[in-house]
Amino acid sequence: MAPPDSPPVIAIVGAGFSGTLLASQLLRHSRQPLRLLLIDRSGRFGTGLAYGTADPAHLLNVSAGAMSAWADDPSHLLRWIDLNREALADLLPSGADASSFVPRQLYGLYLQSVLGDAECLARGEISLQRISDELVDLEPLPPDPAAPVARARHRLHLKGQPPIEAHHVVLAWGNSAIPPPPEPGPGVRHGWTAQATADLDPEASVALLGTGLTMVDMVVSLHRQGHRGPIVALSRRGHRPNAHRSVPPLGDWIDADRAPATVLGLWRLIRARADQAAREGHDWRAVIDGLRPRTQALWQRLDAGERRRFLRHAAVVWDVHRHRIAPELKALLEQLEASGQLRHLAARLLANDDAPQGSGRLLRIRRRGQASTEVLRVDRLILCTGIPLAYGSSEEPLLVRLQERGLLSPDPLDLGSRCDAHGALLDAVGAVQPGLHTLGSPRKGQLWESIAVPELRLQARDLAQRLLASLPRQLQGLPPFEAVPARAPVMPSLLLRQLFDADTNAYTYLIADAKSGDAALVDPVLEQLDRDLNLLQELNLQLRFCLETRLHTDHITGAGQLRRRTGCLLLVPAAPGIRNADRLLTGGERLELGSLSIEVIATPGHTPEHVAYRIGDSHLFSGDALLIRGCGRTDIADGDAGQLYDSLQRLLALPETMLVFPSHDDSGRSHSSIGEERRHNPKLAGRNREDFVRLMNQESLAPPEWLREALPANRHLGDLQPSDPYDQERRQLAIASRQAQATEEANKEIYNAFLGMFI
């Protein structure tokens, strides 16, 4: 029994993508003592089955730009690749970028790095223990009577070491809850094992049972090892994987609440939309991708009978259209088919017997639509049919014990386990099992789409938040009373100048350490280059770095030219497509400027990569996130009102005396304070998240005048100038437009302050 004051223990069973991301989220966000146990019987922490392949020809099925581990940091993988490009040269395709389909082996290394980084950056009282062992039983325990607060406890019995106790247990075992059955005879291998294509004569004949993604891996491995023998791929319907293609998006085109609640109705609706898209010159892939945000809601509208009908008739068709492969792999399959080496057969395997007089297999098959059977003789049969989620019919001892103890109830469709909307396990009568959770594949029966990175990283984030919120409160004592200062703390070494560009109403900030003369510029404007250089010279300052709060849409940055003239470093938020930065910032970094320490705060919402800069408890440079009596817009540059609300709450939690210096103000105000904005900001005061999102979504603003020129130029940090004339006439028109918009914004501010409270 653990001491009553010992830290809470969370055990995560499975260290593939789901378990790794959950552990990383907990390490990142816990603010109190915590002990994490990451248990995996394979001993592969961070790769799991999917990314543990040693074959560099096995590629991701999604391009690198969409595979970040962090939903709020979409360019994280790309920055990691750029940082490690030299070390990963043997795995990276030439010129790899966001559109590249990189090796799964490389992605496994990335996940290991994500976990390692999270562990290194975690607070000292938070620990992670990796356990290479197999869970064989899970025993619920009564609450500890000595604990100040009653909470669930479980004893985990492992195969090779003494039992351990945990308050929360998360089954993050993906597709590995049911180990693969023994191979049914010589000459038969499982496609997800390293030995699937090993020890094979180059001229041998090979049959692949199943034509999904595992089949593609096997064909790729055979080709890479120089296999010359015939390959036949068998599946009941003969469907072949489709390839990705870069297509213009259609967006979210379906209303889940009004969509048909039958498989046939949905099928007809999707076909009709695809036909319409084709007439309009669009690709069917855009139609399927547009379903992505609503797939789980559509699945949950189907009753049990309709879900079974979908699994029986439509699931295979959905999979080959939804889960596509890299274009280069599709080209390889077509090349091998054209040469005659690879054949696809729509056929049912009826029998699989040892071949007489030697090794190999005799496969008796019936082709689709035929009554007669035929026999194929092959040297090896590789099973590519996937790993089952049929917990109810499995004889796996752990699953049997969990069901006998009432801790796990199989999904009625035999797609994992029953759980509530947040991943808490349910028993046979639908009651939540305290302290037991799951995510990923075991939730497939509940969500259907629950195996891809975009879904899994959100599940890991949300479950981590719920687990941390459930832990006992860690209370702190109140220090001796001190009067709250009337003004922000004075920083005698800080030299600050607020500089203004009248054409864009944009502020640039010169920050310097008066003792050392080291300086930084925040959000420099290209047209004000001479002004900024002259001021640095007048004040005898050395520009050490330029800081950007975001990828600007209303002006071109002067950062690149300042680097050319002064040799300073460019430190910028990690937006997709950024080129030539000296360092990409994601939040959490501390920058040293002489004796000053500048903290980088991630504040996504106005744009996904937006950051703010904090100096002690006195100064906040908030960019376009928090403005004076307002906030940044979210209707351009992939803005997100919900994210912005969350970011603003983090900023408003800072000390109320902290001064706020925004990037813009159309009314000529220079600065505000956190306390003022808490009380008087009409977009925030008295509004919850839902109210704020609704208010922001009602805004209708003209796009920034220089959007078309600014975005590509700023991705190159101002070193690449726009091809269109950046002339004085357009600038004057832009000024007039901004003045009109400022009047409109002033009117909206009155509306928001008085009438908008009732929205």
The 10s digit of each residue's pLDDT in 18-65 is 999 999 999 999 988 999 999 999 888 988 888 888 899 999 999 998
Separation in Å, CA 176 to CA 172, 557, 662: 9, 50, 50
pLDDT at 389 over 90: no
Q: Which of 2-11, 45-54, 158-167, 746-755 has the lowest mean pLDDT?
A: 746-755
What DSSP string describes 452-495?
SHHHHHHHHHHHHHHHHHHSPP---PPPSP-PPPSSPPP-TTEE
pLDDT at 411 over 80: yes
Question: Which tokens is 43 given?
Answer: 């001993």
Average of per-residue pLDDT across 699-725: 71
Categorize the per-residue pLDDT at 486 as very low, low, confident or very high, splitting at 50, 70 and 90: very low
Beta bridge partners of 454: none
- Top-confidence residue, 732 or 425: 425
- Top-confidence residue, 367 or 181: 367
Cα–Cα distance measured from residue 511 to residue 593, given in angstroms and rounded to the nearest whole number:
9
Please report, as a single letter, which amino acid is at residue 60.
L
Cα–Cα distance measured from residue 545 to residue 55, given in angstroms and rounded to the nearest whole number:
42
* Owner of token pair 């999102």: 693
pLDDT in tens, 122-139: 888 899 999 999 999 999
pLDDT at 479 over 80: no
Q: Which of 223-232, 657-666, 743-752 has the lowest mean pLDDT?
A: 743-752
> Please, are residues 519 and 543 in contact by the beta-carbon 8 Å criterion?
yes
Beta bridge partners of 158: 135
Q: Which of 118-127, 406-415, 432-441 has the lowest mean pLDDT?
A: 118-127
pLDDT at 744 over 60: no
**Residue whose C-alpha is closest to residue 706's, from 698, 718, 695:** 718
Average of per-residue pLDDT across 372-396: 90
DSSP state of 554: S
Average of per-residue pLDDT across 521-533: 94
* Owner of token pair 């919120």: 469
Which helix (H) or strand (E) segment holds residue 361: the answer is strand 361-367
Cα–Cα distance measured from residue 28 to residue 489, given in angstroms and rounded to the nearest whole number:
30
Q: Which of 13-22, 457-466, 722-731 has the lowest mean pLDDT?
A: 722-731
* pLDDT reported for residue 205: 96
- Top-confidence residue, 649 or 183: 649
Q: Which of 164-173, 226-235, 695-704 has the lowest mean pLDDT?
A: 695-704
Let me know if 584 is exposed, middle or buried by CB neighbors in 10 A (0-12, 13-18, 19+).
buried
* pLDDT reported for residue 603: 96
Question: Which tokens is 664 given?
Answer: 């813009």
Average of per-residue pLDDT across 271-297: 91
Q: Which of 225-229, 690-694, 729-733, 752-756 has the lowest mean pLDDT?
A: 752-756
pLDDT at 654 over 80: yes
Average of per-residue pLDDT across 257-261: 93
Separation in Å, CA 126 to CA 6, 29, 133, 466, 601: 12, 10, 22, 17, 22
Categorize the per-residue pLDDT at 577 as very low, low, confident or very high, splitting at 50, 70 and 90: confident
pLDDT at 579 over 50: yes
Tell me the percentage of the chain whose pLDDT exceeds 70. Answer: 90
Categorize the per-residue pLDDT at 636 as very low, low, confident or very high, splitting at 50, 70 and 90: confident
Average of per-residue pLDDT across 283-287: 92
Q: Which of 35-44, 377-386, 674-683, 733-742 has the lowest mean pLDDT?
A: 733-742
* pLDDT reported for residue 146: 64
- Top-confidence residue, 728 or 667: 667
Q: Which of 75-89, 451-465, 606-620 has the lowest mean pLDDT?
A: 75-89
Average of per-residue pLDDT across 502-524: 93
pLDDT at 240 over 50: yes
Domains and CATH numbers, the chain: 9-55+115-178+390-470 (3.50.50.60), 188-242+324-383 (3.50.50.60), 263-322 (no CATH), 494-724 (3.60.15.10)
pLDDT at 530 over 50: yes
pLDDT at 297 over 90: yes
Categorize the per-residue pLDDT at 438 as very low, low, confident or very high, splitting at 50, 70 and 90: very high
* pLDDT reported for residue 499: 94
Categorize the per-residue pLDDT at 147 as very low, low, confident or very high, splitting at 50, 70 and 90: low
* pLDDT reported for residue 700: 74
Average of per-residue pLDDT across 633-658: 91
pLDDT at 751 over 70: no
**Residue whose C-alpha is closest to residue 323's, from 291, 294, 275:** 291
Cα–Cα distance measured from residue 449 to residue 234, given in angstroms and rounded to the nearest whole number:
25
Cα dihedral 103/105/110/112 (nearest 10)? 170
Separation in Å, CA 202 to CA 225, 226, 354: 8, 7, 21
Summary mean pLDDT of the chain: 87
**Residue whose C-alpha is closest to residue 195's, from 86, 203, 186, 500:** 186
* pLDDT reported for residue 749: 47
pLDDT at 743 over 60: no
pLDDT at 755 over 70: no
pLDDT at 731 over 80: no
Average of per-residue pLDDT across 334-345: 96
Average of per-residue pLDDT across 685-692: 84
